[in-house]
């Protein structure tokens, strides 16, 4: 009976298992191999050992794309965390029409990625875009936004807050899990809103913050759409994000071997960063049930 169940269980899970093997593990293994070859699309791959990885050290654009992506991550992740946390706090209040507010704030997340990008191209338009029109009405000088080197990445960081809905929902769920008796205890001791936030909400929310931080960092390191659709990595490589550079090497310049090596390097970088985040987490993430473990 048990064996029968096991067999059925595996059979039912097979589509997922096969999908994972064929479409994830397979290509990963293949790219790991190709990263050790010199392979131009159309020619056959020839084994060159770690030469691709060595070439990266001297590749100016590799470093440029890495630093651009890091810049973007350092800007976008904290900003999204702060904004979505703040909005989640607001939406956790007892106000009228709460579900409507929650829907409104979540709505932008449902806009398809490319539609979203096209919308923002208009928002950033230096002549008749939304942002410059507003600034001009307020008597302020406009900006070139994504069309100037110095403002291109900051513009995209601002844009990243647009899709904070998912992070916000997770925060909201976390907020609702904060035990009510802790707030009552603070109130009894005469603590106000600030103390309730600082001594109860924030510590109790650290696991949720940590989760969103890790997911956010992993996601933003792979930022691509904006560079692909809005800026094509420009102007002057200002938005040359890592994955966009990888894509260009692979499909425009046809250097599949080098592109595979770039992909694996990014994988390692993300793994190391995640590992460091986890190690660091012990210092500031508070698990209420830690003692029970």
Partner 1 sequence: MRRRDLLKIGGLAALGAAATACGGGSGSGSDVRLQFMYWGSTFEKKAVESMLEQYEQKNPGVSVKPLYTPDEYDVKLNTLVASNRLPDVGYVPLAMSFRLGEQGKLVNLFPYLKEYPQLAGYLPDAYLWSGQDNLHGVATANEIELLWFSRSAVAQAGVTPPAEAGSAWTWDQLVENAYKLTVDQNGRRPDESGFDPKQVKQFGVSSSITYGAAWYGFLRSNGVDFADETGERCLLDTPEAIEVFQNLQDLVYEHRVAPGPGQLAATGNDVPGTNILLKTKRVAMVVDGHWSLLDMNESKVDYGIGVLPKYAEPFTATQVAGASAVFAGSEHEQEAVELFAFHNDPRYVDLFEQGLWMPQEKKYYEDQAAIDSWTKNDLHPPEFRTAVVDYAREHGVPVFGNRVKNMTTIASDVLTPALQEIETGKRPAGEILKAAAPKITSMLQGWQHTQEL
Q: Which residues are near partner 1 by CB under 8 A?
A: 40-43, 61, 118, 121-122, 124-127, 136, 142, 144-149, 229-237, 248, 251-254, 256
Rounded-to-integer distance, Cα 264 and Cα 271, Å: 10
Give least dist CB 111 to partner 1, A.
15
Task: Collect all residues with Cβ–Cβ distance below 8 Å to 239 and sequence separation of at least 6.
Answer: 68, 146, 152, 153, 156, 226, 227, 230, 231, 233
Comparing CB distances to partner 1, the nearer of 32 and 121 is 121
Dihedral Cα 70, 266, 60, 49, nearest 10 deg: 160
Comparing CB distances to partner 1, the nearer of 23 and 251 is 251
Look-up of token digits 């990885």: 53
Give least dist CB 125 to partner 1, A.
6
Give least dist CB 248 to partner 1, A.
6
Rounded-to-integer distance, Cα 289 and Cα 293, Å: 7
The phi, psi pair for 38, rounded to 5°, reads -100, 105
Comparing CB distances to partner 1, the nearer of 68 and 208 is 68
Comparing CB distances to partner 1, the nearer of 91 and 227 is 227
Give least dist CB 232 to partner 1, A.
8
Give least dist CB 255 to partner 1, A.
8
Q: How far is CA 58 from CA 63, 161, 162, 184, in A?
A: 9, 34, 36, 60
Comparing CB distances to partner 1, the nearer of 155 and 160 is 155
Give least dist CB 256 to partner 1, A.
7
Neighbours of 55 (CB within 10 A): 16
> For residue 220, how many C-alpha atoms fall within 13 Å in the half-sphere facing its CB?
31
Comparing CB distances to partner 1, the nearer of 215 and 229 is 229
What does DSSP assign to residue 73?
H
Rounded-to-integer distance, Cα 279 and Cα 273, Å: 10
């Amino acid at each position: 009976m048990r064996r029968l169940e096991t067999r059925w269980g595996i059979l039912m899970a097979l589509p997922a298992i096969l999908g994972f093997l064929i479409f994830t593990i397979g290509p990963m293994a293949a790219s790991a191999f190709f990263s050790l070859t010199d392979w131009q699309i159309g020619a056959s791959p020839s084994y060159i050992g770690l030469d691709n990885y060595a070439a990266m050290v001297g590749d100016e654009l590799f470093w440029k794309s890495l630093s651009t992506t890091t810049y973007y991550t350092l800007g976008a992740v904290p900003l999204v965390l702060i904004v979505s946390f703040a909005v989640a706090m607001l939406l956790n209040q007892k106000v009228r029409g709460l579900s409507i507010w929650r829907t409104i704030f979540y709505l932008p997340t449902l806009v398809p990625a490319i539609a979203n990008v096209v919308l923002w191209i208009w928002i950033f338009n230096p002549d008749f875009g939304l942002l410059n029109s507003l600034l001009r009405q307020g008597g302020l000088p406009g900006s070139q936004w994504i069309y100037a080197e110095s403002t291109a990445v900051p513009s995209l960081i601002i844009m990243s807050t647009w899709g904070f809905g998912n992070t916000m929902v997770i925060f909201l769920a976390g907020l609702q899990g904060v035990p009510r008796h802790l707030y009552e205890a603070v109130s009894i001791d005469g603590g106000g809103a600030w103390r309730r936030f600082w001594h109860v909400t924030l510590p109790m929310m650290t696991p949720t913050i940590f989760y969103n931080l890790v997911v956010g960092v992993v996601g933003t390191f792979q930022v691509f759409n904006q560079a692909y659709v809005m800026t094509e990595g420009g102007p002057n490589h200002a938005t040359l994000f890592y994955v966009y550079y990888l894509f260009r090497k692979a499909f425009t310049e046809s250097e599949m071997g080098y592109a595979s090596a770039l992909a694996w390097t990014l994988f390692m970088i993300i793994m190391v960063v995640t590992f460091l985040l986890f190690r660091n987490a012990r210092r500031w993430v508070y698990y209420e049930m830690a003692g029970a473990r």
